[in-house]
Each structure stands twice: as structure tokens, then as C-alpha cells.
Amino acid sequence: MPLYEYKCNKCGAGFEVLVRNESDVPEKCPKCGATKIEKLLSPFAPSGGSDGTSFCDSGNCGTSSCPTGTCPFGG
């Protein structure tokens, strides 16, 4: 089940919602009640390989992929 991130255009609050079906899509901000909310695009989190190596250990990471220059996944 996907977890979506939303942001309120009125108060700026950010919140996450587990969406199982269409009825779970939020219609208002849980903080201020405003109906002007937007769904945000979230970066995906790379997972480890089936051989037990991390995403970074497999050579798929590095300064070109990690904006900080250090891999947050231990590579």
C-alpha cells in the first residue's frame, strides 16, 4: 500500500497518508482543515540487492548519485 506525502497550500503543513483505495485520499489538511492540498512527489529509497550487498556497495551510488557526497546508505 502506497504512502503518499501531501502539503497544505494554506498553512504549509506536510503530512503523509497511507492510501489503500480512493476513499483514503485526503480532502483537507489535518492541521487547519483547508481543502487546498497538493500531493508531493517523493524520492524513492533504494533497497539492498538480493545478494546482501547494499545499493551503494553494488557500485550504483557515489557522489554523482548522492547530493551530499556521502552515501546515506553506508557506501
Q: What is the pLDDT of residues 54-71, one digit of tens each?
A: 555 555 554 455 555 555
Q: What is the pLDDT of residues 4-30, one digit of tens each?
A: 999 999 999 999 999 888 889 999 999
Cell of 40: 508531493
Taking the model in full, what pTM does it have? 0.55
Rg (alpha carbons) of the chain, rounded to whole number:
17
Decide which of 34 and 61 is more confident: 34
Q: Which pLDDT belongs to residue 29? A: 96
Residues 6+ apart with CB under 8 A from 19: 1, 2, 3, 4, 25
Stretch 35-40: mean pLDDT? 95
Q: Which pLDDT belongs to residue 34? A: 97
